[in-house]
Amino acid sequence: MNKNSQKLLLKEGTSQELKIITSTRIPKDFFITTGIGESDITVHAGSYHLALKEAGIEQCNIMVYSSILSGIATEIPKPDHDKLVHGSVLESIMANSTAAKGQRATAGIIFGWLYDKSTGKKFGGLVCEYNENGTEEEATDKLKKSLKVLYENGYSDKYHMKDIKLITKSFVAKKKYATALVALCFVNYVFPVLGITGQN
* Residue 94: CATH number of its domain: 3.50.20.10
Task: Let me know if residue 174 belongs to a domain.
Answer: yes
Q: Taking the CA of residue 45 as centre, how many other CA atoms within 13 Å lie in the half-sphere pointing to its CB?
A: 1
Q: What is the pLDDT of residue 7?
A: 45
Q: How much is the average pLDDT of 102-125?
A: 98
How many domains is the chain partitioned into structurally? Answer: 1
pLDDT digits (tens, 9 = 90+) for 130-182: 999 999 999 999 999 999 999 999 999 999 999 999 999 999 999 999 999 99
Q: What is the pLDDT of residue 50?
A: 99
Q: What is the pLDDT of residue 95?
A: 99
Task: Let me know if residue 57 belongs to a domain.
Answer: yes
Task: Let me know if residue 92 belongs to a domain.
Answer: yes
Task: Let me know if residue 101 belongs to a domain.
Answer: yes
Which of 94, 96, 93 minimizes the C-alpha distance to 70?
93
Q: What is the pLDDT of residue 197?
A: 86
pLDDT at 119 over 60: yes
Q: What is the pLDDT of residue 3?
A: 53
Task: Let me know if residue 106 belongs to a domain.
Answer: yes
Q: What is the pLDDT of residue 81?
A: 94
pLDDT digits (tens, 9 = 90+) for 65-109: 999 999 999 999 999 999 999 999 999 999 999 999 999 999 999
The Cα 17–Cα 182 span in angstroms is: 43
Task: Let me know if residue 38 belongs to a domain.
Answer: yes
- Quote the percentage of the chain above a pLDDT of 70: 91
Return mean pLDDT, the chain. 93
In sequence order, what are the residues at sequence separation of 6 or more whose Cβ sits closer than 8 angstroms to the Cβ of residue 183? 32, 33, 34, 55, 57, 92, 93, 94, 95, 109
pLDDT at 193 over 90: yes
Q: What is the pLDDT of residue 200?
A: 54
Domain span at residue 175 reads 26-191
Chain CA centroid to CA 177, Å: 24
Q: What is the pLDDT of residue 15?
A: 57
Task: Let me know if residue 34 belongs to a domain.
Answer: yes
Strands (E) in 42-103, as ranges, are 61-64, 68-69, 74-75, 89-100
**Are 126 and 112 a contacting pair, CB within 8 Å?**
yes
Task: Let me know if residue 200 belongs to a domain.
Answer: no
DSSP-assigned states of every residue in 118-176: TT--EEEEEEEEEEESS-HHHHHHHHHHHHHHHHHTTTTTTEEEEEEEEEEEEEE-SSS
Task: Burial-class residue 170 by CB neighbours within 10 Å (0-12, 13-18, 19+).
Answer: buried
Report helix, strand or coil for 3. Answer: helix
Chain CA centroid to CA 60, Å: 13
The Cα 109–Cα 107 span in angstroms is: 7
Whether the model pTM is above 0.75 = yes
pLDDT at 5 over 60: no
